[in-house]
């Protein structure tokens, strides 16, 4: 999955960029207060993308 596609899905689900890290961006779901790092690779594996979305409460 392309990184931009994942970010688009996160933002559509209500998540916001919390802060930039050294190698990851941290996204926050304000509805449940959970934070999850998103790597800055151009391609993100489907399993990792699914884990990020599930942890943030989008699945």
* Confidence band of 9 (pLDDT split at 50, 70, 90): very high
Q: Tell me the pLDDT tens digit for each residue of 23-53.
A: 999 999 999 999 999 999 999 999 999 999 9
Q: List the beta bridge partners of residue 34.
A: 29
Instruction: Please give the Cα distance from 1 to 41 (Å, whole number).
Output: 10
CA contacts within 13 A on the Cβ side of 21 = 12
pTM of the model: 0.93
3-state secondary structure of 58: coil
Q: Out of 3.30.360.10, 3.40.190.10, 3.40.710.10, 3.30.920.30, which CATH number does the structure's domain 3-55 have?
A: 3.30.920.30
Check: CB of residue 6 under 8 Å from CB of residue 44: yes
Domain residue limits, the chain: 3-55
The confidence score (pLDDT) of residue 17 equals 98
Which pair of structure tokens corresponds to residue 1? 């999955």
């Amino acid at each position: 999955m392309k990184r931009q596609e994942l970010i688009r899905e996160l933002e559509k689900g209500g998540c916001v960029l919390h802060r930039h890290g050294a190698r990851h961006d941290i996204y926050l779901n304000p509805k449940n207060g959970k934070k999850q790092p998103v790597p800055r690779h151009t391609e993100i594996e489907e399993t990792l993308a699914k884990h990020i979305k599930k942890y943030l409460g989008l699945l």
